[in-house]
Amino acid sequence: MIALHRFSVPLPLVLIFAMALGLAAMLRAQIEGGERGVPPIDSSSSFEVSGIEVDAYGPNADAARLAGWRAAQRKGWDALWARTHGGARGPGLSDSALDAIVAGIIVEDEQIGPRRYIARLGVLFDRARAGSILGTSGNLLRSAPMLVIPVQWSGGTPQSFETRTEWQKAWARFRTGNSPVDYVRPTGTGVDSLMLTPAQTWRPGRTWWRLLIDGYGAADVLIPQVQIERQWPGGPVIGRFSAFHGPDREYLGGFVLRVGAADGLPKLMDEGVRRMDALFVRALQEGRLVPDPSLIVEPEATEEELEELEEGIPEETATIESDQPTAGLSSFNIQYDTPDVGSVNAGEAVLRGIPGVRSAQTASLALGGVSVMRVTYEGDIGALASALSARGFQVQQGLGTLRIRRGGAAPAAAPAPIPSPSGTPARK
């Protein structure tokens, strides 16, 4: 006979095993959820001109549409030239020349009839080909790579990449080529929903942030946040937008937008992204969008590198004695007006001509506005301000920053009072 023995399993062990299976199933469902992830549609560096209204006619629908697109290319070129040259009127280009520099047409809204075409279009110009004509094909400094975590508050609940939100979709639709900010936009798939959570944006600890930022190839983090308030179902929607920078959530600015119906929420979000980008660009120009040094992961030097470094140190180093102290090099930001491309080169040439200036390079370019130049100077900021004033600039001094304008002649000093015969100053 075969004896059958019954083995009893402790009840706590069974419960632990069942809980482990349940947690594993929940984790897999959270990672592989189908309602998650919005890949960015475009990250190219094309020049974009949007909101072009066209109304064209033709013998048929296709011919009318082609005529409308041709008209949009001409209007877009005029607008792009005016934007990069301080409002000046640009040279006229033929349709064949425009076809060579246009990278694509964006259809924002269109109505097609048998012989008429009415639309609102956007035009993308190839940066390399159009830049050679515009005179802006040079290398422009951009910000360090910034990881973007869009957070949407709706109904008292924050969401980032757990589900597809309108705020995430708007950031995916945004074309980053025209912005000097280098955005790193996660798609929201895989482990993004587990690692880039709204709770993570409130954690100032640097250890986990270093791992996240290094994993996504970024240098710092930007947190665009929106709080949605619905007045009633299908009614007006109010969006309160706030921009934050870094693990410490440095506040950069905010604004409020409103739309009359719930159907206009995507347009509200698109406008919010555009204005949010303007806030980040302004912070970059002001020198506030600097990566946090505590987030930089520096690899440790190996023993071989340390030995090579020790071997490269000379045994005896000659010293130069001087009675006059040598001023140290300092770096400052210079804000100056750049109405056109020529003013950029002229401003850099003036700074490089000042004695003591070791380098002058435009770090943030804003044609038609105020650009920021990074200057390395052998001396303090007061001496540099005095040298600029002597060259006819109006100078406003701030903390590590100078704002200069042309035509800064100092006002003439008031004449001294003429004494009267009685010994008291005469009144005029």
pLDDT tens per residue, range 281-301: 999 888 888 888 888 765 555
The mean pLDDT of 415-422, rounded to a whole number, is 42
Contact 295, 210 (CB under 8 A): yes
- Residue 36 DSSP label: -
Judged against a pLDDT cut of 50, whether residue 41 lies above it is answered with yes
Residue 341, SS3 per DSSP: helix
Cα 23–Cα 28–Cα 29 angle in degrees, nearest 5? 95
What is the bridge-based pairing of β-strands 183-184 and 146-148?
Answer: parallel
Q: Please give the pLDDT value at position 38.
A: 76
Judged against a pLDDT cut of 70, whether residue 170 lies above it is answered with yes
Per-residue pLDDT tens over the stretch 175-217: 887 788 888 888 888 888 888 899 999 988 888 898 888 888 8
State how far the Cα of 157 lies from the Cα of 152, in Å rounded to an integer. Answer: 8
φ/ψ of residue 299, rounded to 5 = -70, 145
- Residue 41 DSSP label: S
Mean pLDDT of the chain: 79
pLDDT band at 326 (very low <50, low <70, confident <90, very high): very low
φ/ψ of residue 228, rounded to 5 = -95, 130
Judged against a pLDDT cut of 70, whether residue 87 lies above it is answered with yes
pLDDT band at 43 (very low <50, low <70, confident <90, very high): low
State how far the Cα of 218 lies from the Cα of 144, in Å rounded to an integer. Answer: 8
For residues 361 and 167, the model is more confident at 167
Q: Please give the pLDDT value at position 300.
A: 57
Q: How far is CA 345 from CA 131, 334, 368, in A?
A: 16, 14, 14
pLDDT band at 111 (very low <50, low <70, confident <90, very high): very high
Q: Please give the pLDDT value at position 257.
A: 95
Q: Please give the pLDDT value at position 423.
A: 43
Contact 221, 207 (CB under 8 A): no
Least confident of 42-51, 184-193, 348-357: 42-51
pLDDT band at 36 (very low <50, low <70, confident <90, very high): low
The mean pLDDT of 219-238, rounded to a whole number, is 92
Contact 133, 101 (CB under 8 A): yes
Judged against a pLDDT cut of 90, whether residue 256 lies above it is answered with yes
Q: 127-131: list long-range contacts, CB under 8 Å, 24+ apart.
A: 127/45, 127/46, 127/47, 127/177, 129/100, 129/101, 130/47, 130/80, 130/101, 131/47
What is the pTM for the complete model shown? 0.56
Judged against a pLDDT cut of 50, whether residue 91 lies above it is answered with yes
Q: What percent of the chain has pLDDT over 70?
A: 75
For residues 146 and 367, the model is more confident at 146
